[in-house]
Chains A and B, each alone.
Chain A
Amino acid sequence: SKLSQNFLELLDNDENYYDITIEVGEDPYVRIFRAHTNILCYRSPYLRRILASNNRSSNTNDLVHIRLPNISPEIFQIILRYIYGGILSLNEQDTSDILKILAAADELCLQELIDYLQGYL
């Protein structure tokens, strides 16, 4: 539907409202993603906790910055798109990538995604 498409557009194109940057990957494969805390909050309990504890510590209007060094940028890209759009196409991915997604989903406590991936495998 339009909804998920719009959300993906928001993820890809937004220059104004993003309020979090996520640094993903280990040197030298680092990539920074821009995202929206309120969306992340409601999609992943893990991210909600992180953001909550970040809020607790720094009560400023600054951009929130978090790091996820043990996830590769490509994988996180897929996950982020899942978080926003609720969709992911697994046909293009090979199995090892899917396993990596699964591991990341596990870390991020995306239960829905975990179940889906396990079913798919």
Chain B
Amino acid sequence: MSSRKQPKGKIRPPKKPNSADAQFNDNWDRLAQAIREIHKKNASILSFEELYRNAYNMVLHKNGDKLYNGVREVITQHLEEVAVSQVVPAFPLSGASSSQTNPNGAGGANFLKVLKTVWEDHTTCMLMIRDILMYMDRVYAKTANVPLVYDLGLDLFRDTIVRSQNYPIQNHLLEVLLQQIKLERENEIIDRTNVKASIDMLLELTDASTKDTVYATDFENKFLETSSEYYRVEGQMLVGEYDAPEYMKKVDKRLNEEEQRVRHYLSQTTEPKIRNIVEEELISKHLKTVIEMENSGLIPMLRNEKMDDLGRMYKLFGRVVKGHDEMKSAISDYIRELGKAINETVTSNTTAEGGNAASGDKQTGATVAVRWVQEVLDLKDKFDKVQNLALSNDKAFQTSFNEAFEYFINKNSKSPEFISLFIDDNLKKGLKGKTEEEVDSVLDKTITLFRFIGEKDVFERYYKQHLAKRLLLGRSVSDDAERGMIGKLKVECGYQFTTKLEGMFNDMRISSDTMTDFKEYLDKSVLEKPKLDLSVTVLTSTFWPMNLSASPRCNLPPELTKACGTFQNFYLGRHSGRRLTWQSNMGTADIRGSFKARKHELNVSTYQMVILLMFNDKQDGESLSYEQIKGESDIPEADLKRNLQSLACAKYKILVKEPKGKEINPGDQFNFNNDFTAPLQRIKIQTVASKVESEGERKETREKVEEARKHQTEAAIVRIMKDRKTMEHNLLIAEVVKQLQSRFMPNPALIKKRIEALIEREYLERATGDRRVYNYLA
């Protein structure tokens, strides 16, 4: 500071001790007086610059601490006075705010109002004081590391008023606030502005030790505690008094109210906490109770399709951790239960008919299947609707629903057959009178059920059988629908699944071409023309579900045998190296029958034709016994029974059976029914084609499926091993399961057996060191 302009004369050394002190005292007196004036709301008489300069000088002369402490004292003093003169007299009557004499909390409200004024006055004053002491804030407070003067004011307010040691202001304040909130919860109208002012005040004050707001340390916990107590009581009361939809409405309302409350006069930080409390007390604790409420819980809601209530439940329960889980498991259980019921009606029906499907009312067998599928579809529709309308398509719910469906559908071992039968039924007759879209939607739905089936290979087998019958017997209503269905299956299961089905279609097409050629060939040839029109469908044996080795024998009439021979010559002439096997159990024939009344054209199966032709040689009234027919025709017994049944016991009785009855038994006598009449010229004799399998047949199908699975499993194992060369047992099993599960769920024991079989046949070997590892042998 060496400078040339010193003459102006600051005589520094002597001034310091005495006159600085004196000046300080002088200045301080004036400042203190000014602060007091500010407190008295007389700020307008003060000169700001002067006071600022005073403070400035004090700080400049290193008296910051004195000034600071002095200010603290003056403010404290003032606040003490305020506490005594204003706050304490405003205490709500008799201290206990819960007292019944003061039900609407008017005293409390008044108390809050006083506190609000006090607070507002204090903050205004502090703003002015801060202005005066700005220099102190800037220079002293920073270096001395003490709170700025405004914050000092807040701290002082906290310690002398809000947490006063001398008066129970804090207790009163908290009690009054809680009481006000309680009143509002009970639908009283309170003065929210006063409550808000107090809350804001608490929010602005900081707790010295936690650095958190006083609101958080003093008020919030108490508030949450009382709320949780309040809602515990309310929850119990509501659960006892209301049914589930009503209860949920109340809860919804409460949640909204609390949210509103927080928004209006509490801190945003409280929002999640209070929400948790309400959720905990009103939802979590009563989850099960509400779900299981009789006549109004989750299940009745589902039963009565109360979408609004379900939606509300979904929304509310989604708020708590286990809510949706509980709902999901409850609904899944319900689905399983319903599914079980459906399964049970079906099984009870089928068992009632006895395992004797061959002779029972077969139509019912199919109806049972159709009904089962229809019921499952209805159930699925219903839950899809629930899912859509109430559960906002929640994926998790969808999955658990699907699991439930899968569970009970696979619980019914006949489900693949039933679904195939259902499709069969629809493609055969159900589609009449339905538009293409309807057909499509029915089939689409069926596909969704198909997805649930674990044993897709079983389904494939049945579907093939049913499709074969539809194609050969010309039962299919629409080729497009058939192809559409196969297309859908292809999308679901891939190319492999449907190659054979498509192959069947191909055979049909090629056969019709072949037949045209055959006709030409006959026209041109010099050979004797057969006396009948023969139409042959050539099937590729691997595509069609039939048993070549056990090709059914049957003694065909000579005309027919001859015609067959002609075709055989023709066909083998064109395609060398093929073998034709006649499947007489699948053919149909048009024959003309003369009855007393008129002639009829009968469309019958090949077997029926064979049977009927036997009666050609007989006199009127002469009868044939079951054994005779069986011996002459050589038709397999089950087929014979079925065909006789359709001739003698069905709608059109071409034959008359002695004794009468629905069942065909050995020893029965048959007569040609000369008196037969029918309104139509052309009659189709229905052979009951699609039916639920009998136990024996089912067993057979099972075995076939098992056999097929063995091959598929082996193929999968070899495929994998060829790729990997060496693999650990568990990994191999897992990989095989992964590859096969789109068709069926392989059993690990089965896989293990197959592996052993492959080792025996030297496709694989166990590794020398580790017996759990396999090597592939090329």
Could you list which residues of chain A lie within 8 angstroms of chain B, going by C-beta atoms? 45-46, 49-50, 52-54, 56-58, 66-70, 94-96, 99, 106-107, 109
Closest to B5 in A: A96
Chain A neighbourhood of B5, CB < 8 A:
94, 96
- The interface residues of chain A lying within 8 Å CB-to-CB of B131 are 49-50, 52-53
B3 touches A50 (CB 8 A): no
Give the contact stretch, choosing among B49-57, B64-72, B95-103, B207-215. B49-57
Question: For the complex, is B262 an interface residue (Cβ under 8 Å from A)?
Answer: no
B134–A56 CB distance below 8 A: no
In the complex, what residues of B have CB within 8 A of residue A94's CB? 3-5
CA distance A23 to B261 in the complex (A): 54
Q: Once the chains bind, are B44 and A45 in contact (CB under 8 Å)? A: no
Whether the Cβ atoms of A54 and B48 lie closer than 8 Å is yes
For B1, the chain A residues whose CB sits under 8 A away are 99
Minimal beta-carbon separation of B41 from chain A (angstroms)? 11
Task: Assess whether B4 is in contact with A50, with CB atoms less than 8 Å apart.
Answer: no
Q: Is the interface of A mostly helix, strand, loop or mixed?
A: helix
**Is the beta-carbon distance between A67 and B49 smaller than 8 angstroms?**
yes
Task: Contact check, A50 vs B43: say whether CB atoms are below 8 A apart.
Answer: no
**CB of B563 closer than 8 Å to a CB of A:** no
User: Does A49 contact B3, Cβ atoms closer than 8 Å?
Assistant: no
Given A96-B4, A109-B138, is A56 in contact with B44 using a C-beta cutoff of 8 Å?
A: yes
Is there a chain A Cβ closer than 8 Å to B135's Cβ?
Answer: yes
Complex CA–CA separation, A94 to B48 (angstroms)? 32
For residue B624, CB closer than 8 A to chain A, the reply is no
Q: Return the contact of A50 from the options B44, B52, B56, B135 (Cβ within 8 A).
A: B52
**Pairwise interchain contact B134-A96, C-beta atoms closer than 8 A:** no
Q: A45-B134, A109-B134 are in contact. Are A53 and B128 (CB under 8 A)?
A: yes
Kindly provide the distance from the CB of A97 to the nearest chain B CB, expressed in whole angstroms: 8
> Which A residues touch B134, using CB under 8 A?
45-46, 49, 109
Minimum CB–CB distance from B739 to chain A (whole Å) comes to 75
* Chain A min CB distance to B726 (Å): 76
Q: A29 vs B52: C-alpha distance in the bound complex, in angstroms?
A: 21
- Contacts A45-B134, A109-B138: A53 and B48 contacting too (C-beta < 8 A)? yes
B3: which A residues are within 8 A, CB to CB?
A: 94-96, 99
- Chain A residues with CB below 8 A from B43, complex form: 53, 56-57
Top 3 A-B pairs ranked by shortest CB distance?
Answer: A57-B44, A96-B3, A49-B131
Q: Which residue of A lies closest to B50 (CB)?
A: A67
B52 contacts A58, C-beta separation under 8 Å: no
- Distance A50 CA – B48 CA, assembled complex (angstroms): 6
Closest-by-CB residue of A relative to B47 is A67
How many angstroms between the C-alpha atoms of A45 and B139 in the bound complex?
Answer: 14
Extra contacts besides A50-B49, A56-B43 (17): CB < 8 Å: A45-B134, A46-B134, A49-B52, A49-B131, A53-B128, A56-B44, A57-B43, A57-B44, A57-B46, A58-B44, A66-B48, A68-B49, A70-B53, A94-B3, A94-B5, A107-B56, A109-B134
Interface on chain B toward A: helix, strand, loop, or mixed SS? Answer: helix
- 23 pairs of residues in contact across A and B, judged by CB atoms under 8 Å: A45-B134, A49-B48, A49-B131, A49-B134, A50-B49, A52-B131, A53-B128, A56-B44, A57-B43, A57-B44, A58-B44, A66-B48, A67-B47, A67-B49, A67-B50, A68-B49, A96-B4, A96-B5, A99-B1, A99-B3, A107-B135, A109-B134, A109-B138
The residue that B49 contacts in the complex, of A52, A56, A57, A66, with Cβ under 8 A, is: A66
Which B residues lie at the A interface, using CB under 8 A?
A: 1, 3-5, 43-50, 52-53, 56, 128, 131, 134-135, 138-139
* Complex: chain A residue closest to B48, CB-CB: A53
- Complex CA gap A54/B51 in Å reads 13
Between B49, B52, B53, B135, the greatest number of chain A beta carbons within 10 A of the residue's beta carbon is seen for B49
Chain A residues positioned under 8 Å from B128 (CB to CB):
53
Contacts of B45 in A (CB 8 A): 57
| A99-B139 Cα distance, complex, nearest whole Å | 17
Least CB distance from B123 to A in Å reads: 14
Q: Chain A residue with minimal CB distance to B130?
A: A49
How close is B584's CB to chain A, nearest CB, in angstroms? 109
Residues in A neighbouring B47, C-beta threshold 8 A = 67
Q: How far is the CA of A58 from the CA of B44 in the complex (A)?
A: 7
Q: Which residue of B lies closest to A71 (CB)?
A: B53
CB distance from B452 to the nearest CB of A (A): 74
Complex: how many Å from CA A75 to CA B44? 30
Smallest beta-carbon distance B186→chain A, Å: 44
Is B52's CB under 8 angstroms from A46's CB?
Answer: yes
In the complex formed, the residue of A with least CB distance to B3 is A96
Least distance between B156 CB and chain A CB atoms (Å): 21
Residues of the A chain whose Cβ atoms lie less than 8 Å from the Cβ of B56: 107
Shortest Cβ distance from residue B348 to the other chain A in the assembled complex, whole angstroms: 91
Distance in angstroms between the alpha carbons of A46 and B253 in the assembled complex? 52
Question: Closest CB of chain A to B50's CB: distance in Å?
Answer: 8
Interface centre among B4, B46, B48, B139 (most CB of A within 10 A): B48
Q: Please report the C-alpha to C-alpha distance between residue A107 and residue B49 in the assembled complex, in whole angstroms.
A: 11
**Distance between A68 CB and nearest chain B CB, rounded to angstroms:** 7
Of all chain A residues, the one with the shortest Cβ separation from B51 is A53
Residue of A nearest to B6 (CB): A96
Q: How far is the CA of A53 from the CA of B44 in the complex (A)?
A: 8
Give, as a whole number of angstroms, the nearest-CB distance from B234 to chain A. 50
